Amino acid sequence: MNQDGEASYGEFIGFYRKHGLVPTPYESEAEVAIFGFSSTTGKISIKHGARREELTGFWLSKMGQGGILRHDRLDVFEDSPYGDLILMFKRI
């Protein structure tokens, strides 16, 4: 990832794979969700991440210097400065 927070999809997937996570298309099995923007050059600009709370199944998001938000769906950030849901990861 460069200093602007941009990386290719492959670089980002490789990073998470090193930590025991692989991409999944299914929110029901995802433990980590990544939000941001995709470019036509294949780079992604990451703006936000969320992780699923193991005991309750709620998503936890830390928003900058603010507190932790708890939400039950990943579509809560649609049309926001945090971008779109671009990747989800599950533990292998």
Q: pLDDT tens-digit profile of 38-92?
A: 878 777 888 888 999 999 999 998 777 778 889 999 988 888 888 889 999 999 9
pLDDT computed for residue 5 by the predictor: 56
Coil, strand or helix at 27: helix
pLDDT computed for residue 2 by the predictor: 55
pLDDT computed for residue 48 by the predictor: 83
pLDDT computed for residue 69 by the predictor: 87
Delimit the domains of the chain by residue range. 6-91
**Core vs surface per residue 38-64: b (16+ CB within 10 A) or e:** eeeeebbbbbbbbebeeeeeebebeee
pLDDT computed for residue 17 by the predictor: 94
**Core vs surface per residue 1-23: b (16+ CB within 10 A) or e:** eeeeebbeeeebbeebeeeebeb
